Amino acid sequence: MKIQTDGLILKQQNIGEQDKLVTILTRDLGVVRAFVRSGKNLRNSKNSPTSLLCYSKISLYKTKDSFVVDDASVNEMFFSLRFDMERVALAQYFCELAMHICPSEQRADAQLSLILNALFLLTEKKKDPQLVKACVELRLACLAGFMPDLIMCRECGAYETEQMYFVFDKGTIVCSDCFAKKPSPSSVGLDTGLTQALRHIVFSEDKKLFAFNLSDKGLEKLNYITETYICRVLERDFPTLHFYKTIR
Ligand SMILES: [Zn+2]
């Protein structure tokens, strides 16, 4: 079986002297692990299109128990990203996140577009990396079926109060009155700006996802919320996230 698709290289590992094993977020098949024969050889045409953070046209064939990259050519290398430690660390976190949250053996158009858009924004340096990060984390969670319920206070139905609370383990919001009656330990306070930012990320159309602003302090808190939430729903930690946080 031969498949033509587009994909972003999320991870590469060396296999023996010559070969590589790559993890790819493909449009048609979600997350795929595939061998690249002689992929370590610099003169091999598959070498650079199968390197980390490369978005490539990829032709795959399936053997009995694995995929093999038959041919590959570069669509986009996000080259300038590689000169910026902070942004490249964040891009690698997006890759690790994608490996664990994107589907396998099914289409992943929305997930791939989301991460590619995020990488373009990091490359262009037009958006604060922290804003891009929060969008990727929460939106990927939504696409994986973990959309938090942000429409109104879970208890009384209030749409918005000056202070609301996000409850991590339930993925819900409650108003300050209801929170006072029944406080939840795993929660964080939200001012109206943060409530609106969370709703924007969850409900906006793809084209407008990254089009909002928040103060630096607001962005810090938003990131605390989105990274805590995604680590909780996936029940795991991400070494690349820790690395990103140590160098920013
Ligand atoms: Zn309430």
* CA-angle at 33, arms to 47 and 73, nearest 5°: 35
pLDDT in tens, 107-156: 999 999 999 999 999 999 989 999 999 999 999 999 999 999 999 999 99
Amino acid identity, position 243: F
Q: Count the neighbouring beta carbons within 10 Å of the beta carbon of residue 29.
A: 21
Nearest to 142 by CA among 209, 214, 211: 209
Contacts of 27 (CB under 8 A, 6+ apart): 5, 6, 7, 107, 108, 109, 112
**Ligand 1 mean position, distance from CA 174 (Å):** 5
Whole-prediction pTM: 0.96
**Distance in angstroms (rounded) separating the CA atoms of residues 88 and 104:** 25
Q: Is the pLDDT of residue 1 over 90?
A: no
Task: For the chain, give the mean pLDDT.
Answer: 96
Neighbours of ion ligand 1 (CB under 5 A): 153, 155-156, 158, 175, 178
**Ligand 1 mean position, distance from CA 177 (Å):** 6
Q: Are 67 and 32 within 8 A, CB to CB?
A: yes
Angle between helices 85-101 and 216-234 (to 10 degrees): 30
Q: Is the pLDDT of residue 82 over 90?
A: no
